[in-house]
Amino acid sequence: QVQLVESGGGLVQSGGSLTLSCATSVSFFNSKTMAWYRQAPGKQREFVASIDRGGNRIYVNSVKGRFTISRDNAKRTVFLQMNSLKPEDAAVYYCNTFPQSTSWGQGTQVTVSS
């Protein structure tokens, strides 16, 4: 059973920043594409960003230029640096592989006040 433990969420004002972390027990982590997803109330979970084994990054258009995904292979951890946060970024954020596996963590709540 893969473990995914997200942390770093919180309440921040619009325009503020947060850094999310995700500690994983993913096997062969170095070779996996890792990603962040988010789910806002009443909406489906959506892809936010991914980073592959070579460090290539993909972002959903709405966060380009504001969010940065990174990884620490030695610690099997994935990060999401979020800057210039907007109220529409408020959601529960999850990490997972890409494509996603069936194992999900508890997520970390991000709340952005306007």
Q: How far apart are CA 83 and CA 66, in angstroms?
A: 5
Enumerate the β-bridge partners of residue 71: 78
- The stretches in the chain having pLDDT less than 50 are none
* pLDDT value at residue 1: 80
Q: How far apart are CA 88 and CA 105, in angstroms?
A: 22
Read off the pLDDT of residues 14-35 as tens digits, 9 standing for 90 and up.
999 999 999 999 889 999 999 9
Enumerate the β-bridge partners of residue 78: 22, 71
* pLDDT value at residue 2: 84
* pLDDT value at residue 94: 98
* pLDDT value at residue 44: 97
Q: What percent of the chain has pLDDT over 70?
A: 100
